Structure 1
């Protein structure tokens, strides 16, 4: 049952969900107070401290700052231990908590050690604002920053310092960025045990992190806690929106609708455009366009204004489900009927791409002209949509013309755009044009990537130009572009097709040099070529190697071997492979049956064939 009542069942007032073990209704104490007593220091000590503070406050100078931190640490924290001067402590905390004060890695560690030692001796920032600012700065200080914030705040609480919710929130946010949920859970429990009442920010951090981690059930538990009278904090629209969006992203759309009803009817929290957009996007992605339209009608009747994001989400969903004509009509209706929702360049780009993918180039270009006439300047996304769409339907000259217009309009083609054109020309066997686009790409200051090289290498292999293949492979490696498994698969397949099995095996062996793992496709190319050349021993050896390396055998592997075994009339080995194929639950296809039916019938093994088929 996916009702609002089930979704947000009120928790027991005496217990919290398992996620957050205990609750507290008491509030935190007031802001911190630094020690008020100061010890008398020799004049030289004050001079040293003053000099160090001036160095800390001066314009960035890493060497001076490092020396200043070392001096402060040795002067303020002598042995035997004593509390530092409160006025100096206040200046140090104010200085080090300033987000604009830069530190290099060494200074950052030195400053942290100073802060930690001061906290352990009972010296804390003078107010909640400074403490929160400092925890936040520590959490954002690079790798391991959240751990520093954790150690510092625990040192403050361990030495008796009173910490309010904002400082806990800053550390929770840092732990959330590191996806360290166990520590987040521990910190939240410690916060409750310390009598600090979580605020709306605390809950928002937890909910947001849980939803991003796709732990929506845990996020709902946090929402339960907020919804209880004991929490003292009511969930707001942003919190509900976060959970609804999380539910939609994991496909729990009915739960999202139930939460929308709960939000509106029982919590008195008004949904907004963001709420409905999350649900509309979720239903569009699962292809339920009718429900998406119903939600848009609901929001309009409820006085919630749709946005251009709402419009574009529906357009995209309709186009993905093949309702391109309906999407175009929907755009026209909204353009004429709604003063609030007007299509933009992205709206037209969605439809242009859909018509291009359905090979309706004429309608796509009409929409492009209409877009410009209505005052929407094409952006880089629009141009890319047109270029990729034209290339996919084989209109490469038109795609190049649009690319030229794009450059004239002041836009630069990116690597992806050039790759689409190069790949298109390669598939059409127009290698000269592909090389020309490559030259333009390098002239524009862009380096070819692995996709660029793979497209060209595949085309050269198909053309049988293996000297050029070797040259391009060397250039690829010299340019620092690491060959991928696709690169090796392309080369091995190309050399096998050309009958150069020796070179294919060399490339196969060289894969280990670049730490690229062989896959099923590559093994199949070699096994098929070996079988065709009558080298069954090596083909079978490669099959065993696949099993040792846990590379999956598929029906293509077995078919290649069956063909080779049939040519050499190795029936016993074929029977063994048939048994293995059945054990591995690899289903035969029509090619398998053609090979085995003709062969086994001819040698009087129809009963074995029947058992194989039934098995």
Structure 2
């Protein structure tokens, strides 16, 4: 039966290391830490040496040192932003195909979202091939956090137009936004879309958002009911899900009930080895 109805809530090639450039940045000839690679890319990007940025993006993945949220930290909202982004758009299509290129694009999009450059992130998506839902996640996260729900839904429509499936994580950004604001009717509509339109099942984060929504609406009993439904359905309960309930109980002064809740659920969220 629908959750909505039940709850009734209102090996890359190593010859790339022979790439030559006039850079003063030395490209590592052996494995280095992600921090080291990020620092080298920062220095190269900050100095405008994007040929070296390209080489470093290739070499780090070949050595198993993957990109991080700091990889494009040199890209900032300064006077050089536009030219730096254009240089990145020029060199990214030149790096190795597959994971290396896709991951570099994804990390760049996440960086642009952190800089609140959503339109530029969408432009970069237009440069890509092999799009996946995760490519759009930073954009949806950024928009829904700012309560720009209509813009976020337009991004969803863009995903569909590009034949990118809308996964449960994409919907969870909307669900969390509505539940944080206590908008239970809107949250119910998102659950309906997940189950009826997409035919996928809500996950632990979906339930977590629903518990949050119930708590922020002052409906602790409903929140506990959702938590029990999670257990019945075999859904792993997140630490934050328990915390939502406890926080609301303390806020409302239900100290004895809160203590009973803690004692009842103590140890249930331990990971099974």
Taking structure 1 as the reference length, what is the TM-score of the superposition?
0.33
> Is residue 352–residue 364 contact of structure 1 (8 Å, CA) maintained in 2?
no
> Is residue 344–residue 376 contact of structure 1 (8 Å, CA) maintained in 2?
no
- Partners of 1:375 and 1:461 lie apart in 2 by 38
Residue 218 (structure 2) aligns with: 499
- Partners of 2:83 and 2:200 lie apart in 1 by 41
User: CA RMSD of the aligned region, Å?
Assistant: 4.2
- Partners of 1:311 and 1:430 lie apart in 2 by 46
**Deviation by residue 1:218-256 (Cα, 9 ceiling, x = unmatched):** xxxxxxxxxxxxxxxxxxxxxxxxxxxxxxxxxxxxxxx
Displacement, 1:510? 1.3
> Is residue 180–residue 213 contact of structure 2 (8 Å, CA) maintained in 1?
yes
> Structure 1's 402 and 327: CA in aligned 2 closer, same or farther, altered over 3 A?
closer
Displacement, 1:367? 4.3
Q: 1:445 aligns with which of 163, 167, 192?
A: 163
Taking structure 2 as the reference length, what is the TM-score of the superposition?
0.68
Residue 8 (structure 2) aligns with: none
- Partners of 2:50 and 2:132 lie apart in 1 by 35
> Is residue 396–residue 421 contact of structure 1 (8 Å, CA) maintained in 2?
yes
**Deviation by residue 1:528-577 (Cα, 9 ceiling, x = unmatched):** 2123333334322211112363659xxxxxxxxxxxxxxxxxxxxxxxxx
- Partners of 1:311 and 1:361 lie apart in 2 by 33
Displacement, 1:330? 9.6
**Deviation by residue 1:387-420 (Cα, 9 ceiling, x = unmatched):** 221012222122123223x26xxx3532111222
> Is residue 357–residue 392 contact of structure 1 (8 Å, CA) maintained in 2?
no
Q: State whether structure 2 residue 104 is matched by structure 1 residue 400.
A: no
Q: 1:366 aligns with which of 76, 79, 83?
A: 83
- Partners of 2:239 and 2:34 lie apart in 1 by 36
- Partners of 1:550 and 1:387 lie apart in 2 by 34
Q: 2:231 aligns with which of 512, 520, 523?
A: 512
> Is residue 143–residue 149 contact of structure 2 (8 Å, CA) maintained in 1?
yes
Residue 472 (structure 1) aligns with: 190
Q: State whether structure 2 residue 136 is matched by structure 1 residue 385.
A: no
Residue 343 (structure 1) aligns with: 55
Q: 1:357 aligns with which of 56, 59, 73?
A: 73
Displacement, 1:436? 0.7
After TM superposition, list the pairs within 5 Å mapping 1:543-562 onto structure 2: 543-547=262-266, 549=268
> Is residue 355–residue 361 contact of structure 1 (8 Å, CA) maintained in 2?
no
> Structure 1's 361 and 316: CA in aligned 2 closer, same or farther, altered over 3 A?
farther
> Is residue 41–residue 56 contact of structure 2 (8 Å, CA) maintained in 1?
no
Q: Larger RCO: Structure 1 or Structure 2 (Cα < 8 Å, ≥ 6 residues apart)?
A: 2
Q: How many residues align?
A: 240
> Structure 1's 413 and 505: CA in aligned 2 closer, same or farther, altered over 3 A?
same
> Structure 1's 550 and 542: CA in aligned 2 closer, same or farther, altered over 3 A?
same
Q: Which has the larger radius of gyration?
A: 1
Displacement, 1:347? 6.9
Q: Secondary structure at the match of 1:343?
A: helix
Displacement, 1:319? 4.1
> Structure 1's 312 and 329: CA in aligned 2 closer, same or farther, altered over 3 A?
farther
Residue 248 (structure 2) aligns with: 529
- Partners of 1:487 and 1:351 lie apart in 2 by 28
- Partners of 1:369 and 1:316 lie apart in 2 by 25
